[in-house]
Amino acid sequence: MAKQNAASNVSLNLTKEEMQAAKDRFNKLDKDKKGHITVNDLRRYFREHNQKIDERVLHELLNEVDLNKNGEIEIAEFFQLYSGLKGGQISANRL
């Protein structure tokens, strides 16, 4: 049986303010304004915050949120993650 993504069954339940907060966080990760987050963006984020993360875990994190499996996290996928974390459907420990 295939592993299911944590965010895949999360309904989007965010207020306008929460959507803006999620968009702001997305834009902080997407520093070069590509419109998506890559594994390199995640790697840079963890380095800038002096957090060591195993390369395997980094790819697993991206894979967990990347619902369409294109190797990138688009804003809609990020909103799904944000909503799932807020609603408790996704545990931050799972990421």
**HSE-CB of 3 using CA atoms within 13 angstroms:** 8
86: confidence class by pLDDT, cuts 50, 70, 90:
confident
- Predicted model pTM: 0.76
pLDDT digits (tens, 9 = 90+) for 16-75: 999 999 999 999 999 999 999 999 999 999 999 998 889 998 998 899 889 999 999 999
DSSP 79: H
Q: State the CATH class of domain 31-94.
A: mainly alpha
For the chain, give every domain's residue range: 31-94
| 21 close to 89: Cβ distance less than 8 angstroms | no
Q: How far is CA 52 from the centre of its chain?
A: 18
Query: Contact at 8 Å (CB) between 50 and 70?
Result: no
* Crossing angle of the two packed helices 75-87 and 16-29, in degrees rounded to 10: 120
